[in-house]
Amino acid sequence: MLVLVVVLAGCGGSGGAGGGGGDGGNASAGVDAGGETAVRTAVETAAAGGSGSGGESASAGSERTAEATDSAEVLQTQARRRALIRTGRVALTVENVTATQRELSRLVRRSGGFVSDSRVRRDEREDRTFVTGRLVLRVPAGNFSAVFARIERLGDVRASNTSTEDVSEQLVDVEARLENLRAQRERLRQFYAQANDTEGLLAIQERLSTVQSRIERLEARRQSLRRQVALATIVVDLAEPAVGPDPPDAWYETGVVAALLESIAGVGTVLRAIVVGLAYLLPYLVVFGVPAAILVYAVRYRRREDGTEAA
């Protein structure tokens, strides 16, 4: 009985162990499957997380790069679009105003510009001649600095200055106002086409005329600004050294010898003036003086004879 119990117990244990082994294999398979699933999920999560953070970093970096690039492009575009009116003025002393004007005209034509105004003036003051001139030059804005530097080398610079005015905002404002007015004009034209009564047509026509006039004024303003931006202005004032005798020194600054020589020269001048005066008077003395002398002599002779007879 004891042996039977032991054998049965062993069979039951081995069967239980086999069943347990089967269950253990199932459990192990479940664990393996669950482990693979967990690992796959973890990898995907890690990959997703890594790619997400890396993507965010890469995205942030690319956004910063794009922003920097966009900012640089915007700044370059704004720099290119800046509308600047450049003006220069220079005063020169030259040997010959007319010759310098011809040289300036050639210089401006070679640079792609033109002379918009030119004049020369000659003044006489205190026995001295003063020759002055002025030229107004229009040159392409890109050649302004080079042309201005060459002008300064044509003579002795008495004064020189340049200025720059930024009219970018003015142009933007003009463009915006033009766009608004053109939209108003288009709407008014539509209303005009749809109007039925005469009063409405006249009111719309009057308003349309006002808008059109404002558009034309703004277009003229825009064209003027663009022309000033495209062509810089240089005003050149020219002057020659004064021609004539030097102003005399004060009399007390003259040396003794120079004063004596000037006095002698003055005496000679007076004597020469007297001789010249007598030469001018001699014909009058001959024509009028001789008859007058004869008449006076005749009168006196007659009186003397009358006195002798009376005695």
pTM for this model (two decimals): 0.51
Range ranked top by mean pLDDT from 76-80, 203-207, 278-282 = 203-207
How many Cα atoms within 13 Å fall on the side-chain side of residue 80? 5
Given a cut of 90, is residue 100 above it in pLDDT?
Answer: yes
Q: Where are the alpha helices (DSSP H) in the chain?
A: 2-81, 97-110, 144-152, 168-194, 198-230, 256-284, 290-310
Q: Please give the Cα distance from 72 to 211 (Å, whole number).
A: 39
Tokens read off for 147 = 């042309």
SS3 label, residue 75: helix
Domain boundaries, the chain: 19-81, 84-239
The tens digit of pLDDT for each residue in 9-40 reads: 444 444 443 333 333 333 333 334 333 343 34
pLDDT on residue 232: 95
Given a cut of 90, is residue 184 above it in pLDDT?
Answer: yes
pLDDT on residue 14: 42
The tens digit of pLDDT for each residue in 51-69 reads: 343 444 334 444 444 444 4
Given a cut of 50, is residue 101 above it in pLDDT?
Answer: yes
The tens digit of pLDDT for each residue in 270-289 reads: 888 888 888 888 888 788 87
Region 138-167: mean pLDDT is 93
Given a cut of 80, is residue 249 above it in pLDDT?
Answer: no
Mean pLDDT over each residue of the chain, to the nearest integer: 75
Check residues 54 and 82 and name the one with the higher pLDDT. Answer: 82
For residue 145, what are the CA distances in angstroms to 93, 149, 162, 225?
21, 6, 10, 20
